[in-house]
Chain A
Amino acid sequence: MTRNISSLVMDSLCDEPGEEDIVVAGFYCDFRGQQEQTTADIIGAILKQLVARPEVLEHVKTAFQKAKMELGGRGLRLPDMVRMLKRAIATLPQVFICIDALDECLPKHLLDLLESLKDILQGAPRTRIFVTGRPHIGAEIKRYFAAGVIVHISPTRHEIKRYLEKRLEMDTMRDAMSDGLRTDILRIIPARISEMYVGASTVPTQCIILY
């Protein structure tokens, strides 16, 4: 759900008419790539999305040439990367940063990332940051961004049903499916998920993993 919402938010910001001055940079954290997703690489990945602007490209190019001469092209450390991103943001009218599934970062990377985002915001108050994740990281978010707004998102029963219909259409083992089973899936699963939200987090959720 959060991936869906994150991608929707990014697209809606990019598509906004008359907002050519907006630059949107996004990142999806993924537990499968935890080791590779260091904070410096995530900040670098965000910066990568700003280089289409000539003013940003120029200073990144200059920094790259300098690093090549001085350090033999070695990768940047996190403070250097944050400094470069801050400089890039300062040359642009407004930047939106969207980061999905923060909880899928390693804990040490998460704290570095929140610290870096806080640092970036301090120098660029027009910047907007959209983040998603599981409930338990809400406390960390509040610790770094006391005035941040927190919203609970959950799919509607209709959305769950549509998703299931799509999955069933894409089923590669159709022989194993009968009309009765299909009807049961579309009736029981959306109801179970809705109950989960009513019953809050105490309901075990692993039972509804479909694949």
Chain B
Amino acid sequence: MNLSQVIADQNPEIMLWLSPLDPRRRHQDVRTNRLDGVGNWFLETGEFQVWRGGEGGADKAVLFCYGNPGVGKTFLR
């Protein structure tokens, strides 16, 4: 169990006050169903590398990836 989870468990009232949503659990579900290797190419793209490296300062702070409907949401979920 990671530190965030321990702190969350110790402070349930505060966690609920911040938000009733539970993004960590959702992330666990998504990553459990993820196919190994699928999408790895994206991490190698120049756009991702530059964004992650923080080059370009605040101007380049946002990276938006879009996928077409039909494949993105209903197919490769």
Contact = CB atoms under 8 A, between A and B. Distances in A.
A153 to B, nearest CB: 5
10 contacts: A2-B72, A8-B40, A42-B21, A46-B23, A48-B23, A51-B7, A138-B66, A145-B61, A151-B65, A153-B67
B11 to A, nearest CB: 7
B43 A8 contact: yes
A121 B58 contact: yes
A12 interface: yes
A60 B18 contact: yes
Interface in A121-160: 121-122, 125-135, 137-138, 141, 145, 147-156, 159-160
Contacts of B71: 1, 154-155, 160, 193, 196, 205, 208
A7 B34 contact: yes
Contact of B39 (A4, A73, A210): A4
Nearest to A166: B35
B67 A44 contact: no
Interface of A: 1-13, 25-28, 30, 33, 36-37, 40-49, 51-52, 57, 60-61, 64, 67, 73, 75-76, 81, 94, 101, 117, 121-122, 125-135, 137-138, 141, 145, 147-156, 159-160, 162-163, 166, 193, 196-197, 201, 205-206, 208-210
Contacts of B13: 64
A205 B69 contact: yes
Interface string B46-68: 01101110101111111111111
A145 B24 contact: no
B30 to A, nearest CB: 4
Nearest to A126: B54
Contacts of B56: 147
Nearest to A204: B70
A200 B4 CA distance: 42
A163 B47 CA distance: 25
A134 B21 contact: no
Given A51-B4, A154-B68, A159-B76, A149 B35 contact: no
